[in-house]
Amino acid sequence: VQTYESIRHQTLNLCAPLTVEDHVVQPYDFVSPPKWHLGHTTWFFETFCLLPHYSMDAFDPHYGYIFNSYYESVGAHVPQNRRGVLSRPTLEDVRAYRAHVDARMREVWNDQPEWRQVVQLGLEHEQQHQELLLMDVKSILFAQPGKPTYAAVGEPGADIPRTSGWDKFAAGIYEVGFDGDGFSFDNEGPRHKVWLDEFSMAKALVTNGDWREFIEDSGYQRPELWLADGWRWVQERSILHPLYWTHSRGEQWCEYSLSRGLQPLHAENPVSHISYFEADAYARWRGCRLPTEAEWEVACGNQSCASHWQWTRSAYLPYPGYQAFAGAFAEYNGKFMNGQMVLRGGCFATPTGHYRPTYRNFYYPEMRWPFSSLRLAR
């Protein structure tokens, strides 16, 4: 129960630097208000651990509708783009909801064996939302004209060791995917063989300084570097640089960070908040390519948690022999296996202990609010 307490408490910790008002707003459809994250992660335990096993009433009859994210099998839910319209329940109400559910969880903790896996999934789920929370907080604070800072959160800085060069890997049959005793999401398995041709992987992530060269070489203006969908996106949105970069202080590039607000760009830091379209165009400009997720797992899976997520050129699709989780949890991962690209590697926002080498993250190719980065392959 200590792990439970600790993880649950960490979510509140992450919200501590925010004002009440910061908890409420939703600047884009894909961003959720922090208040909603607090409620949704609690609803997960109430809905899947408590209500099915104990004769108790829901804390509030409306919360099932408000805090269900996308589980069609457990009923209707507020449309995702209307989460920022919910002034009620208030932050105080949601904290009371957390306290209530946590108290009940403690009471029944020892009954757990039959639903221990669900509790574990709930905690992994909460940790995923801790990452999302930081992504969303960054989007929310940057949307404010005053560009306020959040708090020190260990974003990668100039202290990253400088490396260069390539690691080379021989062709052959490799095994990738999860196969062990601990927890993993359904989409990480089963472990399976893949044939890989010989390939090389860059030791270092692409940096802000590298990216500035791409901009200065008119990278955003040259259609031959882009996928057709990416070129349309660049044109329609007038994309000229990574998200959170600005020219606001004269001619010097600035970058917004959670810890330090708007500040001059650090050329040595890994570039971040770039879309798959941008990552792919950059790699083509360098005469390289992005790695596949299998290549990445073989080459980088065992490194310590990296400073940023990394785009791969693999579409998010089921592994051979994929079995979705049972029941409502079949909706957890499997139904999103369309149109998204896989990212690999953890980042500063990944909770300690949450990362595994086989972890598959996934976003649509135009998404820029994740803490994304890229590593070249060839």
List interacting residues with its own copies (CB under 8 A): 19-27, 35, 60, 62, 65-66, 70, 72-73, 78, 82, 84-91, 140, 143-146, 148, 173, 192-197, 199, 223-224, 226-231, 276-277, 289, 313-315, 317-318, 320-321, 330-331, 335-339, 365
Rounded Cα gap, residues 117 and 21, in angstroms: 35
Tokens of 89: 């329940």
| 245 φ/ψ angles, rounded to the nearest 5 degrees | -90, 145
Rounded Cα gap, residues 3 and 354, in angstroms: 12
| C-alpha closest to that of 42 among 98, 106, 3 | 98
Cβ atoms 140, 22 nearer than 8 A: yes
Q: Which residues are registered as beta bridge partners of 169?
A: 199
We find the least distance from the C-beta atom of residue 339 to its own copies, in angstroms, to be: 6
We find the least distance from the C-beta atom of residue 13 to its own copies, in angstroms, to be: 19
Single-letter code of the amino acid located at 355: Y
Tokens of 223: 């259609």
Rounded Cα gap, residues 306 and 264, in angstroms: 23
Q: What is the DSSP letter of 290?
A: P
Task: Considering the complex, state which of residue 203 and residue 378 has its C-beta at the smaller distance from its own copies.
Answer: 378
Q: Where do we find the tokens 């932050």? A: 91
We find the least distance from the C-beta atom of residue 72 to its own copies, in angstroms, to be: 4
We find the least distance from the C-beta atom of residue 261 to its own copies, in angstroms, to be: 13
Q: Is 165 left (phi over 0), alpha (psi -120 to 50) or beta?
A: left
Write the CB contacts of 2 (distance below 8 Å, at least 6 apart in sequence).
none
| 251 φ/ψ angles, rounded to the nearest 5 degrees | -90, -10
Single-letter code of the amino acid located at 115: W
Task: Considering the complex, state which of residue 365 and residue 370 has its C-beta at the smaller distance from its own copies.
Answer: 365
Task: Considering the complex, state which of residue 54 and residue 65 has its C-beta at the smaller distance from its own copies.
Answer: 65
| C-alpha closest to that of 35 among 122, 129, 104 | 129
Task: Considering the complex, state which of residue 143 and residue 151 has its C-beta at the smaller distance from its own copies.
Answer: 143
We find the least distance from the C-beta atom of residue 187 to its own copies, in angstroms, to be: 13
We find the least distance from the C-beta atom of residue 307 to its own copies, in angstroms, to be: 26
Task: Considering the complex, state which of residue 79 and residue 161 has its C-beta at the smaller distance from its own copies.
Answer: 79
Task: Considering the complex, state which of residue 60 and residue 102 has its C-beta at the smaller distance from its own copies.
Answer: 60
Task: Considering the complex, state which of residue 138 and residue 354 has its C-beta at the smaller distance from its own copies.
Answer: 138
Task: Considering the complex, state which of residue 23 and residue 354 has its C-beta at the smaller distance from its own copies.
Answer: 23
We find the least distance from the C-beta atom of residue 113 to its own copies, in angstroms, to be: 28
Max intra-chain CA distance, the chain: 65
We find the least distance from the C-beta atom of residue 304 to its own copies, in angstroms, to be: 28
Task: Considering the complex, state which of residue 7 and residue 377 has its C-beta at the smaller distance from its own copies.
Answer: 377
We find the least distance from the C-beta atom of residue 152 to its own copies, in angstroms, to be: 20
| 256 φ/ψ angles, rounded to the nearest 5 degrees | -90, 130
Q: Provide the residue count of the chain.
A: 378
Alpha carbon dihedral 268, 272, 276, 279, in 10-degree steps, equals -10
